[in-house]
């Protein structure tokens, strides 16, 4: 028995927010003082570091659970399965449903429950639950689904990553330009076909690193202290990722039974273009080998950072030949990896 991804789907919102939209923003330092650079310079430097030229925002009437539902429908159709045969629905997110122009997170009932309801699945033995695991949430959901299947507790799982980060950003913070909305979904199931998940690795660093990403006050001191926004220690996260993610990926590859030179694609969380490129360099340096061309697909330039949705969305795009210069062939060895709030890191090796 092998455990494979048999269906994929993603939902990429229609609303495009280009970097030029931030030209009229007031960007402040954390102490509330005005940043001593014109906005066009701030935006130019931002794009040079992150690679982000535009991002996607959900329409006002849609929430995270809606985006997840749309992606799930596509994955179910792609897998050609009856949704009533799904044993687990695992939904990764960070902030629940946050309605447009509100500040309150709504997670009662959980997003997995809402998505199951929207899919009109009647089977009560289809268990629906959420996981809060930062940006690595979708990958961790896949690892959990594999565990359920290997333990004989399930035959088929639906794993979703969905987020509307545009609704938790501080518009006075330059980091607001990083975040976006979207959803990705996959069907994971037992199959007699060759391939599937080969190995996985997960770690949580919480002793000193727990609050590198957190909820905090606006950079504008005139706003209510009771209103919180997503905040991050960018430099610390960058250094953490470079120190830990390459080794986690290496452990995963070494346990897979394959060599680094067998790897055809590395699907890494779309957090920051320069950071992902640096992670890749350090990984190949560990093996003392050159980086192959087109090994790492990137979507961050146009889609921004949609947290848990970035990796499944990227995989769905490449699988369906929607990303230029990237495609998959049967038997390809793939790596999926992520890093994010917690601080968590994870990865799994996969034979396509």
Q: What is the mean pLDDT of residues 293-299?
A: 95
The pairing of strands 333-340 and 263-268 is parallel
Helices (H), the chain: 39-50, 64-79, 111-118, 137-150, 234-254, 273-286, 300-303, 310-319
Residue 116 has pLDDT above 90, yes or no: yes
Only one residue has tokens 């799994």, namely 348
- Looking at the structure, tell me whether residues 168 and 225 fall in a common domain: no
Please identify, among 194, 218, 246, the residue that sits at the C-terminal boundary of a domain: 194
Predicted confidence at residue 289, as pLDDT, reads 94
pLDDT 10s digits, 268-293: 999 999 999 999 999 999 999 999 99
- Looking at the structure, tell me whether residues 88 and 125 fall in a common domain: yes
The pairing of strands 156-164 and 88-92 is parallel
- Looking at the structure, tell me whether residues 39 and 150 fall in a common domain: yes
Local structure of residue 37 (DSSP, 8 states): S
- Looking at the structure, tell me whether residues 185 and 202 fall in a common domain: no
Please identify, among 167, 194, 221, the residue that sits at the C-terminal boundary of a domain: 194
- Looking at the structure, tell me whether residues 122 and 202 fall in a common domain: no
Backbone angles phi, psi at 314, to 5 degrees: -60, -45
Q: What is the mean pLDDT of residues 16-41?
A: 92
Distances (CA, A) of 15 to 55, 60, 69, 292: 8, 10, 18, 34
Residue 178 has pLDDT above 90, yes or no: yes
- Looking at the structure, tell me whether residues 142 and 289 fall in a common domain: no
Please identify, among 194, 223, 254, the residue that sits at the C-terminal boundary of a domain: 194
Predicted confidence at residue 148, as pLDDT, reads 97
- Looking at the structure, tell me whether residues 18 and 157 fall in a common domain: yes
What lies within 8 Å, CB to CB, of 330 at 6+ separation is: 195, 352
Q: What is the mean pLDDT of residues 52-63?
A: 96
Instruction: Give DSSP secondary structure letters for 262-275.
Output: GEEEEEE--S-HHH
From CA 136, how far away is CA 93, in angstroms rounded? Answer: 10
Cβ atoms 318, 327 nearer than 8 A: yes
Cβ atoms 270, 314 nearer than 8 A: yes
From CA 352, how far away is CA 338, in angstroms rounded? Answer: 19
Across 165-262, the runs of DSSP E, i.e. the strands, are: 181-191, 196-204, 213-216, 229-232
Predicted confidence at residue 225, as pLDDT, reads 83
Predicted confidence at residue 166, as pLDDT, reads 95
Report which secondary-structure segment, H or E, holds 156.
strand 156-164
Instruction: Provide the number of structural domains found in the chain.
Output: 2
CATH number at 44 reads 3.40.47.10
From CA 161, how far away is CA 68, in angstroms rounded? Answer: 7
Query: Of 227 and 161, which is predicted with more confidence?
Result: 161
| pTM confidence score | 0.94
- Looking at the structure, tell me whether residues 127 and 248 fall in a common domain: no
pLDDT 10s digits, 300-311: 999 999 999 999
- Looking at the structure, tell me whether residues 130 and 49 fall in a common domain: yes
Residue 317 has pLDDT above 90, yes or no: yes
- Looking at the structure, tell me whether residues 171 and 306 fall in a common domain: no
- Looking at the structure, tell me whether residues 190 and 225 fall in a common domain: no
Cβ atoms 4, 63 nearer than 8 A: no
- Looking at the structure, tell me whether residues 168 and 212 fall in a common domain: no
Predicted confidence at residue 96, as pLDDT, reads 96
Q: What domain range is 65 assigned to?
A: 2-194
Predicted confidence at residue 81, as pLDDT, reads 97
Distances (CA, A) of 63 to 115, 162, 166, 197: 11, 9, 11, 31
From CA 212, how far away is CA 179, in angstroms rounded? Answer: 16
Residue 345 has pLDDT above 90, yes or no: yes
For all residues of the chain together, what is the average pLDDT? 95
* Burial call 242-279: b when 16+ CB within 10 Å, e when fewer: eebbbebbbbbbeebebebeebbbbbbbbbbbebbebb
pLDDT 10s digits, 197-240: 999 999 999 999 999 999 999 999 888 888 889 999 989 999 99
């Amino acid at each position: 028995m092998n455990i494979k991804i048999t269906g994929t789907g993603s939902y990429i919102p229609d609303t495009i927010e280009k970097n030029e939209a931030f030209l009229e923003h007031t960007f402040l330092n954390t102490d509330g003082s005005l940043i001593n650079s014109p906005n066009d310079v701030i935006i130019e430097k931002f794009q040079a570091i992150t690679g982000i030229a535009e991002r996607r925002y959900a329409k006002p009437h849609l929430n995270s659970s809606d985006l997840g539902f749309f992606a799930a429908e596509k994955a179910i159709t792609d897998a050609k399965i009856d949704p009533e045969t799904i044993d687990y629905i695992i939904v990764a997110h960070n902030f629940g449903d946050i309605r447009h122009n509100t500040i309150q997170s709504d997670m009662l009932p959980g997003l997995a429950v809402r998505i199951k309801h929207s899919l009109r699945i009647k089977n009560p033995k289809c268990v629906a639950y959420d996981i809060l695991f930062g940006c690595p949430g979708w990958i961790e959901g896949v690892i959990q689904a594999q565990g359920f299947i290997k333990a004989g507790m399930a035959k088929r799982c639906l794993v979703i990553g969905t987020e509307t980060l545009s609704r938790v950003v501080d518009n006075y913070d330059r980091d607001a330009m990083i975040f976006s909305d979207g959803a990705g979904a996959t069907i994971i199931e037992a199959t007699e076909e060759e391939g599937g998940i080969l190995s996985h690795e997960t770690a949580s660093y919480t002793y000193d690193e727990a609050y590198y990403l957190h909820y905090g006050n606006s950079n504008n001191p005139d706003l209510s202290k009771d209103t919180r926004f997503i905040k991050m220690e960018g430099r610390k996260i960058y250094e953490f990722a470079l120190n830990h993610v390459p080794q986690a990926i290496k452990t995963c590859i070494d346990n897979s039974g394959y060599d680094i030179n067998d790897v055809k694609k590395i699907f890494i969380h779309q957090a920051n273009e320069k950071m992902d490129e640096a992670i890749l360099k350090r990984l190949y340096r560990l093996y003392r080998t050159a980086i192959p061309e087109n090994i790492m697909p990137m979507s961050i330039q146009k889609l921004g950072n949609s947290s848990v949705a970035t990796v499944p969305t990227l995989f769905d795009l490449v699988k369906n030949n929607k990303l230029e210069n990237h495609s998959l062939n049967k038997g390809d060895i793939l790596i999926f990896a992520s890093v994010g709030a917690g601080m968590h890191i994870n990865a799994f090796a996969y034979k396509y």
